[in-house]
Structure 1
Amino acid sequence: MNCSRTLTKLMQRPLLSNGLPLGIFSARKCSLLVYCKHVTTCVFLLCLIAAQSHAVQRPNVLMIVSEDNGPELGCYGDPYVHTPFLDKLAEEGVRFQNAYVPQAGCSQSRAALLTGLYPHQNGQIGLATWKFHMYREDAPNLVRSLKAAGYHTGMIGKLHVKPESAFPFDVHKIPSSNFKRKKLGDYAKYANEFFQQGDKPFFLSVNYPDAHRPFLDSVAGLPKHPLKAEDIKPLAYMGLDSSALRAETASYYNSMSRLDALIGQLLAALQRSGKAGNTLVIYLGDHGADLLRGKRTSYEGGVRIPLIVRWPGRILTQQVREELVSTLDLMPTILAAAKAEPIANLPGRSLLPLLRDEETQWRQYLYTEFHTHSAHNYYPQRTVRNARYKLVHNLMAGRENPGYDFTANHFIPELANELDSASPIVRAAYQLMKSPPKYELYDLQSDPYEFEDLSTVAEQSPVLDELKSKLDAWRHRTNDPLLNRDNLERLKEQIDASMVDGNPQKERVELTYEDYFFSNLQSKNNSETKK
């Protein structure tokens, strides 16, 4: 057999965890040597294989982050949206059915992604544009770890975390939010330039402005065929239907289709670079849609996101995983794939065993949280879910949730009229969102959109007690500063101090929570939130 042909065939095979092609040393020992007549040629070929295996062991990483969208994609079964490029990406890799962010807010989600820590652990508990910030500038993070491992690092799009100096990207283009969607073709253009920069493995995060508000039906001819209100129905978790909500949802879908087209441009640039075969591609949304019961909430519409991973020859294709996964798992995943030094004591886990369908004991419980978004909607929550049930703990139960009126007044002013014609169960769900009890319990199997609170149903007491115990243990394990009731109230006082005529003023916001959140760890449990 021709040696070069043999090498080509071997290089086309899936790779083992050690980077060598499957079957190079089979039961017929050193079969490649049998086919080659000259030992020198064989040694040369094996050196080429070893060189390629080393390169594959240090992949490029392209992380694509979109704004304000849940799993409303064709590959997730949405009947209206047109997303052929992301659907194809899912076909070529692994799609996670139950993927979550730690908090449904832009800065909070992105800081968690880059540090591998919950917002209450890294300090980015609210929007960076409203002066919320991480506790420490020198905290370990993904960018620093990859640079230390020899990676060329870049970001295209907004970072939206404070302080920005904590993330020393080599290249940062289009640092603004770009919600006006100017020069959207520049995202792929700058990425193409980045792909050509040197021979180092690269890490590039491309952060698109869609589908953030304002929802724009068409920008520069994208999408080619915008949907109209009469073409669709509102997202099911809103529980409401009207011409106004259909129009809002259609515009959201159009933003998603435009996002998909832009990601298609980006992936085409990667393919042209010749580096796609050795690039780990990760696509995710930063949290759910800015619609009713979505963004800025702890409901599924806020914290559940799309997550798709492609890595040619190294992971499975055309696969769907049902495990409970978090974006906190992405930092350990990327560091493991890059063979970079792991960061100790991160709450997330590498997804590589799931991506490769290797046997592993995976988590049974997943946790999320909420603090505030801007200074308008401070209403801390902690949640835990298992395969079926979800518990929401409202830390300030007994007070109205300001996030309810914030969403209604800013974006859905007709909400009160819509609720008048809603079913009793939907009206009750919205009233509960406005004035939450201490605990909310949902059966996600029979009630995936969380309309019926089971926390007071006697038959559900064992489930309630189990999840309360798990949530309490997690809060202690992760040093949740809001276990101390004093911290809960002191932060509210600082936020309230910015109010003028009932509205917070950004220039008046002064936050020093990093100074007191952990100042009394030894006695924290003594003033723990009452159970």
Structure 2
Amino acid sequence: MRNQLIKNTYHWSLFLLGGIALHSCGANQNSQEKHYEQPNILWITCEDISPNLGCYGDSAAKTPVIDQLAAEGVLFTNAFATVGVCAPSRSSIITGMYPVSLGTHNMRTGKDITGISKGNYNKETGIVDPKGNSVPQYSAVIPSQVKCFTEYLRKAGYYCTNNAKTDYQFAAPITAWDENDTQAHWRNRPKGKPFFSVFNLNVSHESQIWKKKNDSLRIDPKAPTLPPYFPEDSIVRKDMACNYSNISEMDQQVGEILQQLKEDGLLDKTIVFFYSDHGGPLPRGKRAIYDSGLKVPMVIRFPKQKHRGVVNREMVSFVDLAPTVLSLAGVGAPDYMQGQAFLGPYKAKEPRTEIYGSKDRMDEFYDMVRSVRDTQYLYVKNFHPEWSYYKDIKYRRQLDMMNRLLDLKAKGELNKEQKLFFRTSKPTEELYDVKADPFQLNNLAQDPNYKAIMDKMSVKLDIWQKAVGDKGYIPEGELVRQMWPNLDQPVTAKPTFEKLGDAYEIHCATKGASVAYQITRDGKSKNTWKHWQVYQKPIQLKAGEYLHAVAIRIGYKQSVENKIRK
């Protein structure tokens, strides 16, 4: 059924038909004169799943909705997160940048997980970096030119909604979304506006395995195939079945969102993405740098089932999502983005050939691991081989199967492959043939037959680290103090107004700050997302109207409001 392979030269932009002018937010790109229709774009994202879906050949999965979505669209078989855990991964999704380049690579920085930030960051966390520096909670201050890509969509005329998780490692700026809460929905958009809407489904998250462990199972515990790094054990199977059950429930939730799209007559006017934020929630999955932690399901359905039944084997990284959505909207990506568009009129001329991954602090435990993967090999470099591979993370210990694995290890009842997870040290380098060894259990790094491949992959990783300015070498405590001098969050400067004829320009002295504004009659601004617009050009007021403005640089505290009355 799925035997059609997308050719590298396939022109995805064919489905974009006349409408609006293409334009660019890149410093070195010029607007084009071609005209395209701005499609609606819907992201349905879930948490913590590997490609354990029926459409990927997993016979234990009960996912009829996503399977049908894949049958009507394009199934991507080589999609990867940048990090095997949510917050760093999501920082790359929203910016088109690698977390190690942004300084968002340590899991997690603060409490900015959803909605408007309360701005509360504890200075005492109990976390101490390897150099002995205390690490407080913080909102990462990323390079000044970097924005949430949705800000560019808003400037291009899109109504952008997020329901509701953000978890970017920094507080979501007011300029990122028209709506960012549990009520956010494309149905709230002004008439005639295209939308970019995100729905984040939580039921498949790691925590739901222990929170829902007493619920009725939708999957027979005997049905899933155990990977070789798990022992045959009833507790292990119970948690696996719970995970599959949660995926089944998530599939139903996907169906409910798609049904709303159908009811609104928008299914064939919308590009629908489905993907997970990183790999599956079980031990050696989430937080790992192997395929079990980074490889994710991804399905894209186009209006009127264009490209129906296609299987795409090109490599896709999460840094590619931002430039791809911008491309689909007819917007060129800014030059600083490190990803490349794989769809739309700004699609890269050549497909991606490598995937780069990272692993740093995971909750209370530090590490520094980097990886590069192509379609044949995965190369891993451990910068601290003296540190244990296994991290006794308190959060993960809430999994019954995690405690069971530790118990079986203590009793000496795990085999060689199952004990790899509990290594007390790591090899400096690892190399895996991912086709012959899909679970990455047979390290080829010491095999002289693979020395040329090792050298080639090692050089690629080194070049990439230098190119992106890998901040993993900076102890986190020092990095935070670079971002927040004296551990005080920097504050965005209050915006100012300049009258130009009948209009008002808004300025902010903070480098890289974005400005949001609203207009009122009574001089009282509304502190909710949907009332703030992204500032782009001088604003004209009617007599008696007030112009309100706030400014925000990512990682900084939002400015105090300023206003002026005509």
TM-score band by shorter chain is 0.7 to 0.9
User: Would you say 1:191 and 2:191 are equivalent positions?
Assistant: no
1:170 aligns with one of 178, 198, 208: 178
Tell me the amino acid that sits aligned with residue 108 of structure 2: L
Query: For residue 48 of structure 1, what is the aligned residue in structure 2?
Result: none
- In structure 2, the CA distance between the partners of 1:151 and 1:215, relative to structure 1 (3 Å rule), is same
Q: Relative to total residues, which structure has the larger helix share, 1 or 2?
A: 1
Query: For residue 354 of structure 2, what is the aligned residue in structure 1?
Result: 365
Aligned mates of 1:94, 1:215 — CA distance in 2? 29
- State the shift of 1:211 in Å: 0.7
User: Would you say 1:57 and 2:34 are equivalent positions?
Assistant: no
Aligned mates of 2:167, 2:354 — CA distance in 1? 29
- State the shift of 1:314 in Å: 8.2
- State the shift of 1:253 in Å: 0.5
Equivalent residue runs for 1:119-158 within 5 Å = 119-125=99-105, 126-129=107-110, 131=137, 133-136=139-142, 139-158=146-165
Aligned mates of 1:469, 1:137 — CA distance in 2? 26
- State the shift of 1:391 in Å: 0.8
Query: For residue 444 of structure 2, what is the aligned residue in structure 1?
Result: 454
**Matched residue SS, 2:41:** strand
Query: CA contact under 8 A between 2:73 and 2:307: conserved in structure 1?
Result: yes
2:88 aligns with one of 94, 103, 108: 108
Query: For residue 82 of structure 1, what is the aligned residue in structure 2?
Result: 62
Query: For residue 438 of structure 1, what is the aligned residue in structure 2?
Result: 428
Aligned mates of 1:338, 1:331 — CA distance in 2? 11
Query: CA contact under 8 A between 1:217 and 1:255: conserved in structure 2?
Result: no
Equivalent residue runs for 1:360-509 within 5 Å = 360-374=349-363, 376-401=364-389, 403=391, 406=394, 409-411=397-399, 412-419=402-409, 420-427=412-419, 429-432=420-423, 434-482=424-472, 484=473, 487=474, 490-491=475-476, 494=477
**Matched residue SS, 2:70:** helix
- In structure 2, the CA distance between the partners of 1:166 and 1:101, relative to structure 1 (3 Å rule), is farther
Aligned mates of 2:174, 2:224 — CA distance in 1? 43
Query: For residue 313 of structure 2, what is the aligned residue in structure 1?
Result: 322
Aligned mates of 1:350, 1:268 — CA distance in 2? 29
- State the shift of 1:192 in Å: 6.4
Query: CA contact under 8 A between 1:281 and 1:310: conserved in structure 2?
Result: yes
User: Would you say 1:343 and 2:334 are equivalent positions?
Assistant: yes
- In structure 2, the CA distance between the partners of 1:413 and 1:217, relative to structure 1 (3 Å rule), is closer
Query: For residue 160 of structure 1, what is the aligned residue in structure 2?
Result: 167
TM-score (ref. length: structure 2): 0.69
Tell me the amino acid that sits aligned with residue 136 of structure 1: I
Query: CA contact under 8 A between 2:378 and 2:432: conserved in structure 1?
Result: yes
- In structure 2, the CA distance between the partners of 1:237 and 1:268, relative to structure 1 (3 Å rule), is farther
Worse-matched range after superposition: 467-476 or 123-132: 123-132
**Matched residue SS, 1:143:** helix
Matched length: 427
Query: CA contact under 8 A between 2:159 and 2:186: conserved in structure 1?
Result: no
Query: For residue 526 of structure 1, what is the aligned residue in structure 2?
Result: none
Tell me the amino acid that sits aligned with residue 458 of structure 1: P
- In structure 2, the CA distance between the partners of 1:133 and 1:390, relative to structure 1 (3 Å rule), is farther
Aligned-residue RMSD, C-alpha: 3.1
Aligned mates of 1:294, 1:216 — CA distance in 2? 14
Q: Which ranges in structure 1 are unaligned for 5 or more consecutive residues?
A: 1-13, 22-52, 175-186, 496-509, 517-531
- In structure 2, the CA distance between the partners of 1:339 and 1:256, relative to structure 1 (3 Å rule), is same
Query: For residue 293 of structure 2, what is the aligned residue in structure 1?
Result: 302
Which stretches of structure 1, 4 residues or more, deviate above 6 A after TM superposition? none
- In structure 2, the CA distance between the partners of 1:297 and 1:97, relative to structure 1 (3 Å rule), is same
Aligned mates of 2:332, 2:223 — CA distance in 1? 50
Counting aligned pairs with the same residue, the percent is 25
Q: Relative to total residues, which structure has the larger strand share, 1 or 2?
A: 2
Query: CA contact under 8 A between 2:353 and 2:374: conserved in structure 1?
Result: yes
Aligned mates of 1:65, 1:105 — CA distance in 2? 14
Aligned mates of 1:255, 1:205 — CA distance in 2? 20
- In structure 2, the CA distance between the partners of 1:332 and 1:204, relative to structure 1 (3 Å rule), is same
- State the shift of 1:233 in Å: 3.9
Aligned mates of 2:340, 2:305 — CA distance in 1? 18
- State the shift of 1:471 in Å: 0.3
Aligned mates of 2:97, 2:356 — CA distance in 1? 12
**Matched residue SS, 1:95:** strand
Aligned mates of 1:513, 1:103 — CA distance in 2? 23
Query: CA contact under 8 A between 2:73 and 2:309: conserved in structure 1?
Result: yes
Q: Which ranges in structure 2 are unaligned for 5 or more consecutive residues?
A: 1-11, 20-33, 112-136, 486-566
